[in-house]
Amino acid sequence: MNRRVLVAYATKRGSTREVAEVVAETLRAEGLEAECRPAAEIEDLDGYAGVVLGGALYMGRWHADARDFLKRHRRPLVPLRLAVFAMGPRTLAESDVEGSRKQLDNALAMLPELDPVLVAVFGGVVDPAKLRFPFNRMRVSDARDWDAIHAWAQDVAEQLQAEPAVALA
Ligand SMILES: Cc1cc2nc3c(=O)[nH]c(=O)nc-3n(C[C@H](O)[C@H](O)[C@H](O)COP(=O)(O)O)c2cc1C
């Protein structure tokens, strides 16, 4: 069985990369050969059995590198198992997470031929020291729930290793 999995990420300030790295580590612990790389650097998907794509949300849109990744690789992605995640609401309150989920769903709706096996929204990070005016007035926050991220990555590992569904005659 091919166990090579790509964990691709699209980040501006690094918090999505940190989550992608933890996802990749979890996949490795579950027996997969996970490579964690920036989405923009991926030229082809040759040799991968599955893909996890994570991207930050900014101003209502999923990071351009994540959107471009799906567009550029949409044909090879169709037969592969794909899981996606986005970052990140300031809190894990239902209304905040739902708002971010809608933004991610809008991006995924552009490519209806892709049907991810798992989709998640994780809380985001705000570090005003890394932001310009007026965003540098935002409060420091980190809404990443590492237990939830780890548990999601374990579900991803299970989905990526599951036997293909048997078509009913
Ligand atoms: C200017 C700005 C705009 C943002 N817009 C959104 C948004 O529309 N939706 C959302 O869920 N998160 C939004 N966020 C939160 C980011 O997604 C969050 O900070 C994330 O952790 C950033 O990821 P990165 O460190 O990988 O760039 C925004 C953050 C900033 C600073």
CATH of the domain at 51: 3.40.50.360
Single pTM value for the model: 0.96
| 83: in domain | yes
| 167: in domain | no
| 148: in domain | yes
pLDDT for res 164: 74
C-beta 14 within 6 A of ligand 1? yes
| 168: in domain | no
65: its two tokens: 């590198």
| 169: in domain | no
Helices (H), the chain: 15-29, 64-72, 74-77, 94-109, 146-161
- 65-113: pLDDT as tens digits: 999 999 999 999 999 999 999 999 999 999 999 999 999 999 999 999 9
- The number of beta carbons lying within 10 Å of the beta carbon of residue 82 is 23
Atom of ligand 1 nearest to the CA of 96: 11
Per the structure, how many domains does the chain have? Answer: 1
- Which residue, by CA, sits nearest to atom 20 of ligand 1? 124
| 41: in domain | yes
Q: Rounded to a whole number, what is the distance in angstroms from the first to the last CA of the chain?
A: 26
Helix (H) or strand (E) holding 82: strand 81-87
- 104-153: pLDDT as tens digits: 999 999 999 999 999 999 999 998 888 888 888 888 889 999 999 999 99
Q: Distance, CA 133 to ligand 1 centroid (Å)?
A: 15
Q: Distance, CA 9 to ligand 1 centroid (Å)?
A: 14
- Taking Cα atoms as reference points, which of 102, 105, 99, 97 lies closest to residue 144? 97
Residue 136 makes CB contacts below 8 A (sequence gap 6+) with 128, 129
Domain of 35?
Answer: 4-161
Atom of ligand 1 nearest to the CA of 58: 5
- Which residue, by CA, sits nearest to atom 5 of ligand 1? 58
At what angle are helices 146-161 and 15-29 packed, to 10 degrees? 50
| 136: in domain | yes
Pocket test for ligand 1, best of 85, 87, 136 (most atoms within 8 A of CB): 87
